[in-house]
């Protein structure tokens, strides 16, 4: 409601409201993510899964969430060209972080052959 009211009188403040609301929602969601991460860590300790892979997957998930948040902010502010570059950068970072998992998967496949 505040963003709608400000859009009529002070449109330049709309993006600040959007960022503030996004950060508040992110903080609330991050608090809930702690429970999920705790659950994943407990499960990986009970099952013989490489802890490093789980850390990488959690980091990749965090990067994708932050990238999407940044892309949304850029699109809201009318900077779609910057948004596409942030999106591409996030994908490249995720790809580079997944190299150890891909390497390990290929090693397992080669051992099976």
> Do 98 and 60 meet the contact criterion of CB atoms below 8 Å apart?
yes
**31-76 confidence digits (pLDDT tens):** 887 888 788 878 877 877 778 888 898 899 889 988 998 898 888 8
DSSP single-letter state for residue 47: T
Total-model pTM: 0.72
Distance CA 14, CA 33 (A): 28
**93-112 confidence digits (pLDDT tens):** 999 999 998 998 899 899 98
The residue with greater pLDDT, 69 or 11, is 69
Domain borders along the chain are: 2-112
């Amino acid at each position: 409601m505040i963003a709608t009211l400000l859009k009529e009188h002070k449109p330049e403040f709309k993006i600040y409201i959007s960022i503030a609301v996004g950060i508040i929602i992110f903080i609330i969601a991050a608090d809930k993510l702690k429970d999920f991460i705790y659950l994943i860590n407990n499960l990986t300790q009970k099952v013989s899964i490489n802890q490093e892979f789980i850390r990488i997957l959690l980091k990749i998930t965090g990067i994708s969430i932050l990238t999407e948040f940044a892309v949304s902010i850029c699109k809201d502010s009318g900077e779609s060209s910057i948004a596409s570059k942030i999106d591409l950068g996030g994908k490249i970072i995720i790809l580079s972080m997944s190299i150890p998992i891909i390497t390990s998967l290929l090693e397992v496949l080669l051992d099976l052959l």
